[in-house]
Amino acid sequence: MTRPFGADVLAYVSNELDQLLAVADAELASGYPGDHLGRQPVHTAYIPAQHFGPGVASLWGAQAIAALNEFAPGPGELAAATGLAPEVAAEVRPLVLAKLAAEPIEDLRIDFEDGYGSRADDTEDAHARAAARSLAAVLREDTAPPFTGVRCKSLEKATRQRAVRTLSVFLGALLEHGRPVPPGFLITLPKVTSAAQVSAMAVLCERLEAAYWLSHQQRLYFEVQVETPQAILGPDGAATIARCVHAAPGRLAGLHYGTYDYSASLGIAAGYQSMEHPAADYARAVMQVAAAGTGVRLSDGSTNVLPVGGRDDVVAAWRVHARLVRRSLERGFYQGWDLHPAQLVSRYAATYAFYREGLPAASDRLRAYASRAAFGQEEPATARALAGFLIRGLDCRAFSEPEITRLTGLAREDLTYARRRGIIRTPESS
């Protein structure tokens, strides 16, 4: 005959397991704190430093609006140009126009790497100072991006000193006259090949903070670009990127896939380098698993099929870009790169379509979540995912808070609670 543990034995065994698993519990809690719950931009606009200046966000918005009005003056033309259903295009076109007028760039990155090239030290110093002062001016504009940053050169030996120097000069000019580090400011570290480089970048951020007397509230954060095969798979067969994720706790904010450098490093012919290549899918899948639950965010890469030229050229590029944006969103990559102002049209059209099309089902499921959960038909992860979907749509202006409240009966703070806790807030749970 069997019998359950007595209270004293149960307490003893539970305590024994607590001791055995104490280290594993601590490592899990520190290494996998959960998803970052703040706003994530839907894109990053990369602008070479030599072309960056005041008014850039407004200029990109104006150029995108001009392209939309010229090549997709109505919903029908937008549907044909992006592959959206006509009724969806009619719904999102006014939203895209409003977005381009109010907040055309969500995340702006000033580039001192591939888009900038190799220049004399004095020249790059001058460009770094000018770009930093221009960024300060941009941040005072009505259309200022909520997220900004700078991409330095890599920490490979050949460019290491130049990377340090550019960041030092740039920050010195940005922080002139007591200006603070802008909220949402990130440093992008390209061509990472080892976790040691990520750890070294964390040390560099510490030294820069000390040099400029930055408080903890002014802490510097960075993201790494996954552009080399060494970043995915190390010589020992381990996933290097998983080690990178944990090499700078509290400082590493994101992993950005680099489409063309990564593809070229694998020997893929130029005509076949694409965000849709199986090699790209593999790299992103490894990135996704490595970052899950860590709070480190993911971004897809870019397409070099730019919307320039005549109508046929622009429309063809928009169709490619819109398809790739949708593909990334469906695979859980909620951010990507844009390299040209007119790409904002296809970026926001595809993004808004993704959220608008998913809105009815997400709203219905979240509204009915409490009753289904009572019968064991839902799990907390479902509530987190549904609330996260709606919050992402709110953040990029795919829909409004009154609209969400009407459809779900929930305010934004209720969605935030559900995203964090996995349950719908009630008076008892508040």
Q: What is the mean pLDDT of residues 329-341?
A: 97
Residue 383 confidence class, pLDDT cut points 50, 70, 90: confident
User: Using CA atoms, how far apart are residues 403 and 412, in angstroms rounded to an integer?
Assistant: 11
Residue 107 has pLDDT above 80, yes or no: yes
Task: Determine the Cα angle at 155 with ends 152 and 159, to 5°.
Answer: 75
In the beta sheet, which residues pair with residue 108? 45, 148
Smallest CA-to-CA distance from 218 within 174, 188, 256, 255 is with: 174
* Residue 428 pLDDT greater than 60, yes or no: no
Q: What is the pLDDT of residue 424?
A: 81
Per-residue pLDDT, 277: 96
C-alpha distances in angstroms, 67 versus 60, 211, 345?
Answer: 11, 45, 8
Structural contact between residues 317 and 308, judged by C-beta atoms closer than 8 angstroms? yes
3 versus 323: which is more confidently predicted?
323
Q: How far is CA 259 from CA 104, 163, 270, 323, in A?
A: 23, 22, 11, 16
> How far apart, in whole angstroms, are the C-alpha atoms of residue 2 and residue 144?
69
pLDDT at 7: 83
CA atoms 185, 190, 195, 197: torsion sign:
negative
- For the chain, counts of helices (H) and of strands (E): 18, 8
Q: pTM of the predicted model, to two decimals? A: 0.93
Q: Name 151's bridge partners.
A: 111, 188
Q: Copy the structure tokens of residue 130.
A: 């000018």
Residue 381's pLDDT is: 85
Are residues 243 and 230 in contact, defined by beta-carbon separation less than 8 angstroms? no
Query: Distance between CA 322 and CA 259 in Å, rounded?
Result: 16
Element (H, E) at 277: none
Evaluate whether 178 touches 214 at the Cβ level (below 8 Å): no
List, for residues 223-280, the tens digit of each pLDDT value: 999 999 999 999 999 999 999 999 999 999 999 999 999 999 999 999 999 999 999 9
For 294-329, write each residue's pLDDT tens digit.
999 999 999 999 999 999 999 999 999 999 999 999
pLDDT at residue 8 tops 90: no
Spell out a b/e string for 197-216, using b for 16 or more CB atoms within 10 Å of the CB, else e: bbbbbbebbeebbeeeebee
* Percentage of the chain lying above the pLDDT 90 cut: 87
Instruction: Judge contact between 85 and 79, C-beta under 8 A.
Output: yes
H or E element that contains 107: strand 107-111
Cα separation, 322 vs 349, whole angstroms: 7
Phi, psi of 298 (to 5 degrees): -115, 145
For residue 2, the model assigns a pLDDT of 63
Indicate if the pLDDT at residue 390 is higher than 70: yes
Q: Which of 118, 115, 109, 203 is nearest to 159 (CA)?
A: 118
Dist CA 351 CA 95 (whole Å): 11
pLDDT, the chain, mean = 94
More confident residue, 286 or 419: 286
Q: How do residues 58-75 score in pLDDT, each as one tens digit?
A: 999 999 999 999 999 999
Which runs of E-coded beta strand occur in 258-326?
297-299
Q: Which two structure tokens, joined as six digits, stand for 333?
A: 């990559």
Q: For residue 394, which of 425, 426, 363 has the smallest C-alpha distance?
A: 363
| Residues 258 and 301 sit within 8 Å (Cβ to Cβ) | yes
Give the end-to-end CA distance of the chain in Å, rounded to a whole number: 46
Residue 405 has pLDDT above 70, yes or no: yes
Q: In what order do the strands lie in the sheet with 336-338?
A: 297-299, 252-257, 221-226, 185-189, 147-151, 107-111, 43-48, 336-338
CA-nearest of 408, 411, 396 to 364 is 408
At 172-198, the pLDDT tens digits run 999 999 999 999 999 999 999 999 999
What local confidence, expressed as pLDDT, does residue 427 receive? 47
CA distance 276 to 259: 10
Query: Collapsing DSSP states into helix, strand and coil, what is residue 158?
Result: coil
Q: At what angle do helices 343-367 and 401-408 cross, to 10 degrees?
A: 30
pLDDT score, position 373? 55
pLDDT above 70 (res 222): yes
**Burial of 114 from C-beta contacts in 10 A (0-12 / 13-18 / 19+):** middle
Mean pLDDT of 107-129: 97
